[in-house]
Structure 1
């Protein structure tokens, strides 16, 4: 959300990437919780989970009435310019920042020293 509480008109991550990250954060997450967190419909979340499953990015195991998801972290991105990178890069970037005690990396400007 923007500071004024409005949804941004565009974002850097697709809904597929956001679903992937939510599953990485909680492998037992419910579809309704994915949808609510990302701001999409449950139907869209189901479709994205199916896309990710069909593409080999995730597995589903039924545990009672719930699903347990597993990610194939070594599967590579689909787009040619990123096809040499595993999805682990994206998932780690967003899940490691959630770990207690971790700090965000320095801004790029500070890594290059004074101008």
Structure 2
């Protein structure tokens, strides 16, 4: 999957909210770079490393994410077949959600 470079900050009318939550942001980072350090993910997402650790733990407990040791580092594998968790989204999979972003990146 394509690597992700840090995006410049953009001022958005209407405040600082985003359409996606931090769980999705962490998944996007790990999908782009399965061997990313959680410290780097935290910086990209804009949350603390401890918050990223909690999100990763929750994603592991929900079988969305698996952690593997690769030497001294961790690598993460996402189960793309897992359904999204909210009833409004449960007809879609994690892979379909992530595919929206990677399809756009690959076409650029």
Q: Give the TM interval when normalised to the shorter protein.
A: 0.7 to 0.9
Structure 2 match to 1:21: 28
Unaligned stretches of 5+ in structure 2? 1-8
Q: Which has the larger radius of gyration?
A: 1
Structure 2 match to 1:78: 85
Measured against aligned partners, the alpha-carbon deviations of 1:55-114 in whole angstroms (never above 9, x if no partner) come to 000100011110010000000000001111111111111122222xx14xxxxxxxxxxx
Unaligned stretches of 5+ in structure 1? 104-115
Structure 1 match to 2:48: 41
Residues 24 and 95, structure 1, Cα contact 8 Å, conserved in 2: no
Structure 2 match to 1:111: none
Q: Aligned-pair RMSD on alpha carbons? A: 1.7
Residues 57 and 71, structure 1, Cα contact 8 Å, conserved in 2: yes
TM-score for both structures, normalised by structure 2: 0.85
C-alpha separation in 1, matches of 2:21 and 2:80: 18
Number of residue pairs matched by the alignment? 99
Residues 22 and 34, structure 1, Cα contact 8 Å, conserved in 2: yes
Of 72, 82, 99, the residue aligned with 1:92 is: 99
SS at match of 2:34: coil
SS at match of 2:58: helix
Measured against aligned partners, the alpha-carbon deviations of 1:7-50 in whole angstroms (never above 9, x if no partner) come to x4211000000001111101111101100001000000000000
